[in-house]
Amino acid sequence: MSNKTDDHAEPNYWMVWLALAILTAVELLVARAPGPKSFVVFSLCALALAKAALVALYFMHLKFEKYALILIVMSPLLLSAIMYIGLVPDAITHLHWLPH
Amino acid sequence: MAHAVTMNEVERYENQLTPGWGKLMMWVFLCSDAMSFAGLLAAYGAVRLGSSNWPVPSEKLDVPLTALNTFILICSSVTMVKALSAIRHGDRKGFLGWLAATMTGGASFLGIQAYEWTHLIHEGMTIQGNPWGVSTLFGATFFILTGFHGCHVLSGVIYLFCIFVRGAQGAYGDENYSPVEIAGLYWHFVDLIWILVFTFVYLIS
Which has more confidence, B15 or B128? B128
CATH class of B20-203: mainly alpha
Give the CA diameter of chain A.
Answer: 62
The shortest C-alpha distance from B144 to chain A (Å) reads 19
Q: What is the pTM assigned to this prediction?
A: 0.89
**pLDDT tens digits along A79-98:** 888 888 888 777 777 665 55
In a domain, A2, yes or no: no
Q: What pLDDT is recorded for position A3?
A: 45
In a domain, A37, yes or no: yes
Q: Is residue A24 part of a domain?
A: yes
| Residue numbers of the domain that contains A27 | 13-92
Residues of chain A neighbouring B77 (CB-CB closer than 8 A): 17, 55, 59
ipTM higher than the 0.90 cut: no
Domain map of chain B by residue range?
20-203
Task: Tally the domains of chain A.
Answer: 1
Burial class of residue A90 in the structure, from the number of CB atoms within 10 Å of its CB (0-12 exposed, 13-18 middle, 19+ buried): exposed
Where b means 16+ CB within 10 Å and e means fewer, A27-63 reads bbebbeeeeeeeebbebbeebbeebbebbbebbbbbe
| CB contacts < 8 A (A, B) | 136
pLDDT tens across A12-66, in order?
999 999 999 999 999 999 998 887 888 899 999 999 999 999 999 999 999 988 8
What distance in Å separates residue B1's CA from the closest CA in chain A? 28
Residues in B 88-107 with any Cβ partner in A closer than 8 A: 88
